[in-house]
Amino acid sequence: MLILKCPAQLQLLEETLQRSLPATLPVLGTVMTVARGNPASHEVLVDSWPHFRIILTRLRPEEHRDPKDYYINQLSVFYQDKGALQALLEGTEAVTQERAFHIMGMQDGLDEAVQEVASARGMKVE
């Protein structure tokens, strides 16, 4: 996944997300925060640019102090393709299995995708 840092990219992403409200709401706030100075130390990741299928926002990994604290390791996701969500959960370094996490999103299929990946790995989802 690519980490967006360029102000122009973040501005373009923000404008794109605003056109798809309310589904993009979980990631839009973080994109706006990062674009305006990022006081909360978050990062915005996309699978490709400029034609993305999934956006993930999270706290920068170096800011994690407790790998079991899933409130600190809060992820927000917006996806245009459920397959991209499956790929993100199954095999990228963006979502590591070494840390507990809390994932937020408003789209249909998010819960099912998380449950499927967790059961395939023998993990419990709360």
- Give the pLDDT of residue 18: 96
Phi, psi of 84 (to 5 degrees): -65, -35
Instruction: Report yes or no: 104 and 11 within 8 Å, Cβ to Cβ.
Output: no
- Tell me the pLDDT band of 44, cut-offs 50, 70 and 90: very high
Most confident of 20-29, 56-65, 90-99: 20-29
Task: Give domain status of residue 8, yes or no.
Answer: yes
Domain span at residue 78 reads: 2-121
Task: Give domain status of residue 126, yes or no.
Answer: no
Please state the domain count of the chain. 1
Contact residues for 69 (Cβ-Cβ < 8 A; gap 6+): 100
